[in-house]
Chain A
């Protein structure tokens, strides 16, 4: 018993001591061993005990000793201030003069010249120009030093051949616009990177993007790889990294060679980084195949303003597996936005030679404008900087296109603009009906008649202003400074509208501020017999234009109409008043790529087309000029921008079998 007790006591004692010893020793072990990384939690940068005593990296006295020294400007340089003397440009901004090209010129050069001359920045006088454009001939020809060279200041040397620079003269301070320049020679902020255009690139309009749907088709291949003779080779998602750049010994597998197709049908297009493959870039862009550039050695086109991270993926060619894995696992939202951005960029800046050249000039203009140039958003979201004029505003909320991105909504008021061409009774009833709308801010009478305007106008609850027009059809789309609201209700004295029609139409416009919202519609059609475009005012199941005799639209379209359309188009439209309507519809459709919107009207117009003599459908003898109008405009635009719609937006309870008392827009019910 005792021995048992003793033993147990002994055991307990030794156990307790063992424990004590262990406890005691463990800290020793910890102290004795040097801190080993990777043991337990990561050992970060130590928290120094005396961190509070550390000195700052810079002492206040140093700030005072920061004696500035003006460094001499380094010659040979091309800094923005140095090589583009903006003081020469005056208040109008950019003015471009093109040196005449001696001798025979190539097709591409001819297109470039035509584009520059068609630009609103072009001038024919070298004296008033602030940018002198020199077109370099092909690589085998030599060009003399131009007369006003002056060390290259305010010169832009344009070359579409990715070839060595000419040796006849030093480029010095001249800016260089070159197709896919190498990153080593490219001077950011000075040079302009152009895309490498194929010989057959059209002058105007050009082929639209090939994307037909937002999301990739489930059966579309994941990858397209650049292959020999300008072809693309599509590879499946499951194919290994060995299809990369032909580095694989064994058969790549999963290959679908399609020699007939020049444009890839895949989600991603792998483009090697060599300069010689740069031309594939535009191809992929057009096809809506997201370009994956493998360590590109050339500068992406217009990288100064275009944010290519939104449309391309620039990857490291040394990491094939990672890139492939990343492409396969890319979130669908990103794939969607990349795909759509390729199409937007293609259509906005690259689809024709004209667009490329105009974009180049716009970039130079933005350099001159500095703080009042288009901000990033205007360059990188539809409809693009060529259609978002900085002279109108640099604030995205002033445009009809960016309300969603800005989290803003269109203004709740409109201005009624009544265009009076033929003298007659003032449209009193119309003025009354429009002024009664709670959203109406002002009424503007555009008096475009030979006779002087009547001295007295009816008393209205909103201010009424009379503007003197210049008796031209295009007057009605002039950006008058008197227009104070974003929304314009364009009217004709013959239009008859009720207040609730106006209110409802304005409510619809607020949902679609970038489109035209009108009551009377026309539609265009392809006349097989004549082989040309025509249009009709006949009642139809679809439409593509709304008459501006009664339509809501954003006032920005006035600016765009007057400032961006080529003069030739406006002169053409001035010839026939109906044609101005068509031109406005062309313009809005070209910008939005969407059809206008039709809203219901209770009573039918007394005349379907108010300007009966000129309008279509009123008699066979007046049709030819109007028909010509659509056809000529389509030719000038280079394509047919009009889009057809088959719907009309009605009030929610429109003609529903429910008590009229419940309906908000009763007078629209008619009858």
Chain B
């Protein structure tokens, strides 16, 4: 009995171990956010260890087992000086095993027959991340347990008694089920989350591979100043791309040392890590080097000063796809070094593109390099809420600490001349805490908080220092202060796409004395706009490293796929302007020639007789050039050709696949004219003069809906919603498309660009397609409809055969519902209300009728 119980207990334990292991995994996931990874591991480890001790109740005692697992000493790494671990961590295993938490592993190694186990003797690896080590340990424990069981298991089964068999079988099935369930648990998370979370990606920067650069390894040539996209950039790499997005590859991080093992530079800065993370998270990123169009080295050259120029260049040259730097992008914010501070990165980089902060006209290769801002760490540290418009305390403020004496003199002269309105701040000298001096500025013993003080000023001077690009520009923009850039030949950040005239004032250095006068000549309204624009630039392009990186890639992307480039408005207009402004798709004032004529589209179902009458009537209009009948009845064939009325223009019948109202607004290939007359098959009351006049009116307003019966939308104050109105009103905001002229482009818009689910909604309800068209056109053009000619008794499409009052009312309710629905989809009420309609010049004038161009108008 005893011997039987033992395996049972063990099975239970091994299951428990598996469970523990799962929890251990949880611990890993959890530890991503937690600094006390080690402690977690430790407690788990102890639990595991206790379990294993039970399993390994073998005659021999494990040597490591008796030792205390809690003692953690930092491991000593060869060839590098000892560094304390930041936290109590489960350090890597060593051979021989050290007195550490990995004692568990030793428990494994004490198993009776190591040679037959699944385990390979493990070696320590200094490079593998701590996490991996611990993970393996946990696994190893389970393996131990299973090995043991496996060894003894077979021998046990024959000894079992029959009466217990069912009991055991049940038990095993439960265990089996448990195992399967465990397996599910095991594999599920792996397929869901990317492996980056736990197996490979959790690494320490200290453990990146080291690359030794021989002293004689090649150095790239200096940058080629004549480079242009079509000469130095290999566009073929960006070939296959239906989405018009470049693919960017990031080289993996390496640590470069010279022949003597001295590192070439600090591995990576916080900002560059952020930048690469941002690229890696963006749509541009690819991990396939063969499909990449742009390569970003992980060698950090953001700041030139800590770099060893020659070795950095060598490191660049040995990148696997370097190829003279073609299609390589380097990010640099602080170029040059003492004494002469070049305005571009001094590292020889051959054809590589440079995204640099502080370019001058001498070094900037127009259309090739990208000028980027110098990131200000204060952006992330200080939260400056946007300040509304209104007067600010100072007119002009200078807040930079390192200002050339000559400039300072000029500034102080301005201060003396204009008194209170100019404030020149200095570095604080007598502050006790030196660390905070970056956030403090002084003026005559008065201490100001920086950058908060910037919000008190209308204009803020951004002078060049040793470098042209100044981080102060970012602070100034953040504060919504209009930067006054005084740095000759400086290429402003993203000047290729950003319109800096809208957000800044650039003053030549030699005109510095006149700064005050120049600024005063700017009208107040323009200043307010500039302030808003400055803040918007900061929010969109300066705020974070991510914003800078993505804007840079977007600029390069636009050069490679110019036909899909982002427009000026998208780059420059603040969201509020983008929202309120309308860009009319037909903005060119152009009166189409009368000779072009129009195409009439008649939507019909089965009212053949009425349809024929309409066709006959419409064909009398002189400017008609084609007639298109949209046959919307799938169950019935259109009449034979011989039965159709004979008319002077081509007549085409289009059969539709489904009876949908939106068929009326489909951009049929048969429409060759720009003007389209949509007409219902029962509109027989319009005279030829009226239709011809309608076409003439459309020619003068080709971007509007020109229709006959007009309708109005009203705000119902009682119900708090929109109401549809068809009474005799003095205003009009819609025309019915039962008879209306419009540009054929709106057919395209209706079919392909209708926002939301309006199109389906209309087809489902079989109503309101005309209201939807009115909304669409008004929204895209921002203009009102034109109603032509006086009101007639229309057999209107909204009054169906039974002209009952109740039906009419439900109809009105439905139409009102449509307006409310569309207004919510559009997010606004685009319809415009006007009080006029168009009539012929001499309509109802005291003039002989027969001399009028359109005499037959308004007759009943």
Contacts and interface: CB of A to CB of B under 8 A. Distances in A.
Contacts of A67: 338, 402, 465-466
Contact of A214 (B241, B272, B280, B745): B745
A45 B205 contact: no
Given A24-B143, A50-B204, A405-B581, A41 B589 contact: no
Report the contact-size class of chain B (Cβ under 8 Å from the partner): 35 or more
A56 B269 contact: yes
Interface in B464-513: 464-467, 471, 488-489, 499, 501-502, 505-506, 508-511
Contacts of B204: 48-50
B841 A214 contact: no
A163 interface: no
A50 B83 CA distance: 14
Residue of A2, A35, A663 ringed by the most chain B CB atoms within 10 A:
A35
B412 interface: no
6 contacts: A28-B139, A31-B136, A42-B287, A215-B744, A376-B568, A380-B568
B175 interface: yes
B251 to A, nearest CB: 10
Contacts of A12: 169, 172-173, 176
Interface string B137-159: 00100110010011001000110
Nearest to B565: A309
B348 interface: no
Contacts of B375: 57
Contact of B840 (A25, A55, A646, A656): A646
B852 interface: yes
Given A51-B205, A273-B230, 16 more contacts: A43-B287, A45-B277, A53-B86, A56-B377, A63-B401, A69-B404, A71-B340, A214-B674, A215-B674, A326-B564, A340-B586, A541-B841, A541-B851, A594-B591, A653-B730, A655-B858
A333 B244 CA distance: 18
Contacts of A313: 562-563
Given A41-B194, A47-B201, A24 B591 contact: no
B406 interface: yes
B402 A65 contact: yes
Interface stretch (A149-157, A182-190, A439-447): A182-190
A653 B839 CA distance: 11
Given A13-B157, A333-B585, A79 B488 contact: yes
A593 interface: yes
Contacts of B463: 68
Contact of B279 (A15, A45, A658, A662): A45
Nearest to B119: A28
A68 B407 contact: yes
A189 B362 CA distance: 13
Contacts of B577: 406-407
A71 B150 CA distance: 82
Range, interface on chain A: 35 or more
A183 B838 CA distance: 53
Contact of B585 (A2, A53, A63, A337): A337
Contact of A507 (B281, B525, B590, B835): B835
Contacts of B791: 653, 656, 658
A21 B118 contact: yes
Contact of A70 (B338, B406, B437, B471): B406
A336 B667 CA distance: 15
Given A56-B271, A214-B674, A646-B853, A81 B568 contact: no
A192 B562 CA distance: 24
A438 to B, nearest CB: 14
Contacts of A68: 402-404, 407, 463-466
A73 B488 CA distance: 9
Given A45-B280, A404-B581, A648 B839 contact: yes
B57 interface: no
B518 A322 contact: no
Nearest to A28: B139
A24 B150 CA distance: 14
A283 to B, nearest CB: 19
A5 interface: yes
Contacts of B525: 395
B295 interface: no
Contact of A42 (B226, B286, B305, B593): B286
A507 B585 CA distance: 25
Contact of A47 (B169, B202, B572, B579): B202
Interface stretch (B67-75, B387-395, B812-820, B842-850): B842-850
Contact of A332 (B250, B338, B401, B748): B748
Contact of A44 (B168, B196, B731, B836): B196
Nearest to A321: B239
A647 B526 contact: no
Contact of A81 (B281, B509, B565, B847): B509
Interface string A63-95: 111111111011000011100001100000000
Given A13-B153, A45-B277, A664-B730, A189 B361 contact: yes
Contacts of A37: 287-289
A5 B169 contact: yes
A652 interface: yes
A330 interface: yes
A363 to B, nearest CB: 13
A214 B702 contact: yes
Contacts of B590: 211-214, 340, 343, 593
B844 to A, nearest CB: 5
A647 B697 contact: yes
Given A316-B560, A337-B587, A593-B589, A58 B837 contact: no
Given A404-B581, A652-B837, A69 B466 contact: yes
B366 interface: yes
Interface string A376-388: 1000111000000
Contacts of A13: 153, 157, 172
B280 to A, nearest CB: 4
Nearest to A183: B228
Contact of B266 (A6, A55, A81, A343): A55
A-B pairs, top 3 by smallest CB distance, nearest first, are A407-B580, A81-B508, A45-B280
A646 B841 contact: yes
B507 to A, nearest CB: 8
B3 interface: no
Contacts of A56: 269-271, 377
Given A316-B230, A394-B526, A376 B562 contact: no
Given A28-B136, A507-B836, A508-B836, A188 B366 contact: yes
A543 interface: yes
A319 B230 CA distance: 11
A623 B530 CA distance: 54
A244 interface: no
A662 B702 CA distance: 31
Contact of B465 (A66, A307, A395): A66
B581 A645 contact: no
Contacts of B843: 648, 650, 655
B732 interface: yes
A5 B672 contact: no
A16 B586 contact: no
A595 to B, nearest CB: 7
B561 interface: yes
Nearest to A288: B588
A188 to B, nearest CB: 6
B740 interface: no
Contact of A38 (B287, B366, B743): B287
Interface string B453-470: 000000000011111000
A220 to B, nearest CB: 11
Interface string A638-671: 0000010111111111111010001111000000
B526 A340 contact: no
Interface in A387-425: 394-395, 404-407
A613 to B, nearest CB: 26
Contacts of A15: 176
